[in-house]
Amino acid sequence: MLIAGNWKMYKGPGETREFCSAFTPPASIEAVICPPFGSLGAGVASGHTIFAQNVHWAEEGAFTGEVSAPILVELGVQGAIVGHSERRQYFGETDETIARRVFAAVEHGLRAIACVGESAEERESGQMDLVLRLQVEALADAVGPHERLVIAYEPIWAIGTGKTATPAIAQEAHAFIKSLLDVPVLYGGSVKPDNAAELLAQPDVDGALVGGASLDVESFAAICLAAASLR
């Protein structure tokens, strides 16, 4: 069971150090913190498992504003989120660029949490299966069922909205994703201490990618505890 906290563009090094020294996850689950780039070093120094929020496909080069897998490895970062819907929506990421980033990450020994998920319109117009299929097949073509690849199912309508997928909706999507690519699948989208247990209890929900509720050490620890109580 993997519980990852996606801090997005919150918490500088000072707040990262404070959070990390107060955070003691249960030993039976894997807790990962994903701070913004400038706080990665502070996170790594705390001894917690730290992932970045993106990684470029090239080893180095003229790519202003990007960070490479070798740089992350040198920093002591263990993995990266790739293809978050905010990256797709605001920064033009496509299934192709995401697949290239995931490939580079795993090639360099990093783990990757690759995000997929449909919008409200895609769900309502019956296109959800097609959208998920295209997103997952791009990953399958790039790296296949790689041991360092995890998928996060994050329905866009549930991110930062307080609207969570029901456990049944999550389970159905996770089973579909696994039928296309057999890797662990995390659920993401308004996971909170009070809904974590019922989501994580679903047979094909292998963990959670937590946004807002991971910024507060008590609520993130409560979600980790809910996970630990299940397995």
Tokens 């990421």 appear where? 93
Q: What is the closest distance, in whole angstroms, from the C-beta atom of residue 130 to ligand PGA in the complex?
A: 23
Q: Which is nearer to ligand PGA, 135 or 190 (CB)?
A: 190
Q: Which amino acid belongs to residue 170?
A: A
For residue 105, the tally of other CB atoms under 10 A from its CB is 32
Active centre residues (catalytic): 84, 154
End-to-end CA distance of the chain: 8
Closest by alpha carbon to 199, among 215, 186, 212, 211? 186
Closest by alpha carbon to 175, among 136, 216, 144? 136
Indicate the angle between helix axes 128-143 and 95-107, nearest 10 degrees: 30
Three-state DSSP state, 38:
helix
For residue 5, the tally of other CB atoms under 10 A from its CB is 29
Residue nearest to ligand PGA (CB): 211
For residues 113 and 45, give the distance between their C-alpha atoms in angstroms, rounded to a whole number.
22
Instruction: List contacts with ligand PGA (CB under 6 A).
Output: 6, 154, 159-160, 188-191, 209-213
Q: Which is nearer to ligand PGA, 71 or 80 (CB)?
A: 80
Give me the residues paired with residue 186 across strands: 152
Q: Which is nearer to ligand PGA, 71 or 209 (CB)?
A: 209
Q: What is the closest distance, in whole angstroms, from the C-beta atom of residue 98 to ligand PGA in the complex?
A: 15
Q: Which is nearer to ligand PGA, 80 or 191 (CB)?
A: 191
